[in-house]
Amino acid sequence: MTTPSIQIQLPASFGPDRERVVIGYLAGRLYGRDAWAKAFEAFDLLDQAVLVTARGYYTFRTLYQQVVDRLMADAYLGELLTLRDVEQQSPALWSRFARRIISEFTQRGWRRSDVPEARLLLSYLLYWWGAFARGYAFEVEVFRDLRNSGVQFQAHNLLDRQQRYSPSDLAVSGMAGDVKTSIYFVQAAAPLEHDFYIMRLVARGRTHMLAVLLKPAAWDIIDGDTVLGHLDTIVDQLPAPVRIRHRGQELVVVDYDEWKRRILRLQGEAQ
Amino acid sequence: MSPQTFAEMSEAEFDTLLDDYIEREAASYGEVPAEIFFDLLLERSAAKTRQPLHLEVTVVDDHLVITPDREMGDVIVRGNEVLVGERRLVFQLAGAAQM
């Protein structure tokens, strides 16, 4: 029996340097702004890469939807919501599904030593799986923490596909917000239309921190002074609310616990 | 950046790369360093706003399936629906028309 042929068609601008940066991401060797910017661009370009089989042409984006999202997303979220300690237990759940993606990729006959470009497809599927799975784990962590902290909010139901793909993840005191991991936030960058974004960052290469990015109008509802900040110093200025002006946009960044404290005060005054 | 391309990597090296990636990601948060996050976010959000979003429409078992050419935070596409802000656009397959 002969092995069915497959072929990978990459966008013209996806050269060996782009491939090396994808490998650099997998190897944990992205250092500095330029390396990260190139990695995001590389994964942008891979959206348009195509797998050609005897059955047809499929973009990597379509394959992610068909092979990963449609087959694994609901099962992952179902298990995620049963975890007692999401922060501690969800990485193991994420990695179990990541290994399932590798098995699925192999079973479909796409793991081929004579088509090394197919490794880019697997890299792409794992990258987006990481963005999806880590993103929803973080969202569940935040929802549980807000509930435990006494913050009143309305959140979408992750197990309901219709609600899961709602325009915003949650509403707090009439303000619409999203919960985002930093990689997904940057990769799927879009106009910042919500009032606030709860996000997780890594500071100084190792310490993780939770912060909230707000539009100035949303900050005005919460009320309070800000200090003028700069991108280079923002990590050191937190937890104080920091106002940044950059690339024509003005935003307020505040430590997550400080934001919660102010929201609780706002909601207490409203009662 | 890696010195190697995938074509220069053996199966065993590729397996090791994947194993290490999964182990490392499971042990860390895998986040963008704060020092560069804001600049990249604002740069990319401005650039992406100007780019068109292409939607691929296919028919699967008599149902429309719409797939965007990329993930974009403010436009949500699932099945035969497209959400733009609070607006939900639902696409349906019409019968064949004769001109």
**Contacting residues for A67 by C-beta, under 8 A, at least 6 apart:** A101, A104, A105, A108, A125
CB pairs under 8 A between A and B: 194
A164 and A157 Cβ atoms separated by less than 8 Å: yes
Residue B3 in this model has a pLDDT that exceeds 80: no
- Going residue by residue through chain A, which has 271 residues, state the pLDDT in tens, using 9 for 90 and above: 556 689 999 999 999 999 999 999 999 999 899 999 999 999 999 999 999 999 899 999 999 989 999 899 999 999 999 999 999 999 999 999 999 999 999 999 999 989 999 999 999 999 999 999 999 999 999 999 999 999 999 998 887 877 777 778 999 999 999 999 999 999 988 888 899 999 998 877 667 889 999 999 999 988 778 888 888 788 888 888 999 988 888 999 999 999 999 999 999 887 7
> What ipTM was estimated for this complex?
0.89
Residues B74, A234, A201, A204: what is their CA dihedral angle, to the nearest 10 degrees? 150
Q: Which residues of B touch A120 (CB under 8 A)?
A: 6
| Measured distance CA(A131)–CA(A226) in Å, rounded | 32
* Residues whose CB falls within 8 Å of the CB of residue A86, separated by 6 or more in sequence, listed in order: A80, A137, A140, A141, A144
For residue A250, the cross-strand partners are: A245
Rounded Cα distance, B91 and A80, in Å: 32
153-182 of A, contacting B, C-beta below 8 A: 161, 165-167, 178, 181-182
Per-residue confidence band for B98, with pLDDT thresholds at 50, 70 and 90 = low
- Two tokens, residue A221: 């509802």
For chain A, what's the residue count?
271
Task: Provide, as residue numbers in chain B, all residues whose Cβ is less than 8 Å from the Cβ of A244.
Answer: 38
| Placement of tokens 């110093």 in the chain | A233
CA within 13 Å, CB half, A63: 27
By C-alpha distance, the chain B residue nearest A178 is B73
Going along A14-94, which residue ranges are E strands?
50-53, 56-59
Number of helical (H) and strand (E) elements in chain A, helices listed first: 11, 11
Q: What DSSP character marks residue A194?
A: S
Task: Please check the confidence at residue B92 and state whether its pLDDT lies above 90.
Answer: no
Question: Alpha carbon A231 to chain centroid distance?
Answer: 21
Beta strands A175-181 and A196-203, pairing class: parallel
Mutate to test the interface with A, among B16, B21, B81 (most CBs of A within 10 A): B21
A75, two tokens: 């099962």
A229 and A242 Cβ atoms separated by less than 8 Å: yes
CA A169 to chain centroid: 13
Cα(A212)–Cα(A191) distance, rounded to whole angstroms?
Answer: 16
Token pair, residue B57, equals: 């429409």
| Cβ pair B49:A190 closer than 8 A | yes
Distance, in Å, from the CA atom of A130 to the CA atom of A184, rounded to the nearest integer, reads: 9
Stretch (H or E) spanning A260: helix A256-270
Element (H, E) at A69: none
C-beta of residue A253 within 8 angstroms of C-beta of residue A211: yes
**DSSP label at A67?**
I
Q: How far is CA A218 from the centre of its chain?
A: 23
* Residues B68/A21/B25/A164 CA torsion (nearest 10 deg): -10
Identify the residue among A97, A231, A233, A250 best suited for mutation to test binding to B, counting B beta carbons within 10 A and taking the highest.
A231
How many Cβ atoms sit within 10 Å of the Cβ of residue A96? 13
What predicted TM-score, i.e. pTM, was given to this entire model?
0.89
